[in-house]
Amino acid sequence: MNFSPELISLARYLAGEFDNSTQAIADPAWYVQLRLWHRPVPITLFPEPSIALFAEQANILKLDQPYRPRVMQLRQLSDSPTSSDSSTSLQIQYYLPKDVPSILGSGKNPEILKQLKPSQMKFLPGCTLEVINHNHGQDNEYFQGILPPDAVCGFTYQSQYYQVELGFEVNAQEFLSYDKGIDPQTGKGTWGALLGQYKFMKSRSFSSELML
């Protein structure tokens, strides 16, 4: 597939296993120690050229009980894969697997992902991040994902409505998550990065599993 260098770099930075142990040990009152997986999906899920990553996380004390499963579709909007306008050419669209229990644990066991089908993906309207490439020279590049102004990322799961504020920064070594749950009635944060970003360091890379 003819992906842009920017999209390939973004995918390689994101694909991996991460943990925030340094942050959680330094400030245990405010940060739970988590493990985060961004696992490349080994099959084609979407009709347009893109890269799919399965994401989930777990408390370090309960690694057998992962939660927050979602699929991230990384895509480029530019007609030209060599376009220099990388600040507006990348997006990440989030999807929710319709059968959540069947897909949990895929972060550690990617074989499960081979059973995914396009029909099992639930599109999440409003959950599309614009990705900005901050390229400051060799070995000094990072990507920032932000929701557009006035976007509302919300979805219904098991008859309950959830609202999430999404955002991240990523480079070759770390992933900073600004994700937090929002009370749709009050607009206040209820979980996640309430006091600042979760700082995940990459412990393993899954870039060799990407379908490039």
pLDDT at residue 76 is higher than 80: yes
Sequence-ordered list of residues with C-beta below 8 angstroms from that of 93, at least 6 positions apart, any chain:
72, 73, 75, 123, 124, 127, 128, 129
Distance CA 58, CA 65 (A): 6
pLDDT at residue 161 is higher than 70: yes
pTM of the model: 0.92
101-144 tens-digit pLDDT:
999 999 999 999 999 999 999 999 999 999 999 876 666 789 99
Going by their DSSP bridges, the two strands 180-182 and 160-165 should be labelled as antiparallel
Q: Are 169 and 198 in contact (CB under 8 A)?
A: no
Structure confidence at residue 1 (pLDDT):
67
Average pLDDT of the residues in 21-45: 95
35-64 tens-digit pLDDT:
999 999 999 999 888 999 999 999 999 999
Average pLDDT of the residues in 175-197: 93
Tell me the CATH number at 126: 2.40.128.590
Structure confidence at residue 156 (pLDDT):
86
Distance CA 73, CA 93 (A): 5
Q: How many domains does the chain have?
A: 1
Q: Are 107 and 54 in contact (CB under 8 A)?
A: yes
Whole-angstrom CA distances from 60 to 38, 77, 149, 208 are 16, 37, 34, 25
Domain that holds residue 180: 5-209
For residue 79, name the pLDDT band (cuts at 50, 70, 90): low
Structure confidence at residue 86 (pLDDT):
40
Structure confidence at residue 85 (pLDDT):
44
pLDDT at residue 31 is higher than 60: yes
